[in-house]
């Protein structure tokens, strides 16, 4: 589904940039379309690399609390034992 949506958006953007140009004007429009595509691909590559790096180094947000082993106690039980 995502590939199909990306294809539709990409082709629509291409036709929007190219319009109904002919001859030399079409060449200029094709070059513009290539630069737009290159910018989008570069942005996607940087975003994917940053996301992969953050995930690999553990910089992403935790969704659950870290598990404790049976020999360790939590801070709450330590506080109640001291009083």
| Predicted TM-score (pTM) of this structure | 0.49
- CA quadruple 48, 49, 51, 57: dihedral, nearest 10: 160
Cα three-residue angle 33-39-41, rounded to 5 degrees: 100
pLDDT of residue 43: 92
Give residue-wise pLDDT tens across range 30-63.
Answer: 888 889 888 988 998 999 898 888 777 766 555 6
What is the chain's mean pLDDT, rounded?
Answer: 75
Position of tokens 């935790």? 62
Nearest to 30 by CA among 17, 39, 41, 40: 17
């Amino acid at each position: 589904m995502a590939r199909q949506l990306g294809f539709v958006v990409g082709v629509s953007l291409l036709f929007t940039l190219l319009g109904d140009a002919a001859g030399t004007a079409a060449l200029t429009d094709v070059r513009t379309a290539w630069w737009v595509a290159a910018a989008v691909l570069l942005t996607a590559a940087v975003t994917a690399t940053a996301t992969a790096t953050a995930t690999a180094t553990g910089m992403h947000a935790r969704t659950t609390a870290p598990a404790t082993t049976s020999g360790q106690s939590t801070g709450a039980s330590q506080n109640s034992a001291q009083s």
